[in-house]
Amino acid sequence: MKSYFLIPIILVFFTFSSCTSTGDKSVSSSQGEKSGKHLWEYKRYGTNLYSIDGDIKLGEKVMKAQIDEFKKQDTPVNPEKYEALRKRIDSISKKIIAKSDMPGLPYEVYFFDRPDIANAYCLPGGKIGVFSGLFDTLTKGKEKGLVNPASDDEIAAVLAHEIAHATLRHVTRRLTTMQSLGLFGMVASIAIGRGIGSEIQVAFDKVFSLGADLYFPAYTRKYEKEADQAGFFYMAKAGFKPEAAVDIWKRAAARGGPNSKNTDIFASHPASGERAKRLEGWLPDAQLIYEGKLKK
Q: pLDDT at position 157, please?
A: 96
Query: Which of these, 209, 95, 223, lies nearest to 169 by C-alpha position?
Result: 223
Task: List the domain range (segments joined by +) for residue 128.
Answer: 47-290
Cα–Cα distance measured from residue 247 to residue 40, given in angstroms and rounded to the nearest whole number: 21
Residue 239 lies in a domain: yes
How many structural domains is the chain composed of? 1
Work out the average pLDDT over 95-113: 96
H/E element, 62: helix 52-72
- The confidence score (pLDDT) of residue 106 equals 97
Buried b (16+ CB within 10 A) or exposed e, 264-289: bbbbbbbbeeebbebbeebbebbbbb
Tell me if 31 is assigned to some domain: no
3-state secondary structure at position 149: coil
**pLDDT, mean over the chain:** 74
**Contact indicator for 123, 55 with CB cutoff of 8 Å:** no
Quick one: pLDDT at residue 97? 98
> pLDDT tens, 32-81?
444 557 888 887 777 888 889 888 988 888 888 889 888 988 999 999 99
> How high is the pLDDT of residue 212?
43
8 Å CB contact between 171 and 207 = yes
Residues 6+ apart with CB under 8 A from 54: 14, 17, 18, 19, 20, 172
166 located within any domain: yes
Q: Is residue 8 part of a domain?
A: no
Q: Residue 216 pairs with which residues in a beta bridge?
A: 209
Task: Give the lowest-confidence range in 21-35, 55-69, 273-287.
Answer: 21-35
E strand or H helix at 60, and its extent? helix 52-72
Q: Which residue type sits at 71?
A: K
Whether 14 is in a domain gets the answer no
Question: What Cα–Cα distance (Å) separates residue 45 from each residue in 118, 168, 201, 232, 272?
Answer: 30, 7, 27, 17, 26
Residue 103 lies in a domain: yes
Phi, psi of 214 (to 5 degrees): -120, 155
Count of CB atoms situated within 10 Å of the CB of 167: 21
Residue 202 pLDDT? 45
Query: How many Cα atoms sit within 13 Å of 225 on the Cβ side?
Result: 14
Read off the pLDDT of each residue in 270-291 and give the average, rounded to a whole number.
84
Chain length of the chain: 296
Q: What is the DSSP letter of 141?
A: S
For residue 205, what pLDDT band results from cuts at 50, 70 and 90? low
DSSP 3-state of 218? coil
- Report yes or no on 70 lying in a domain: yes
Task: Give the pLDDT confidence score for residue 19 in this predicted structure.
Answer: 41
Average pLDDT over every residue of 176-194? 50
Please classify residue 26 by burial: count the beta carbons closer than 10 Å to its beta carbon, then call 0-12 exposed, 13-18 middle and 19+ buried.
exposed
Q: Do the domain assignments include residue 20? A: no
Cβ atoms of 250 and 243 closer than 8 Å? no
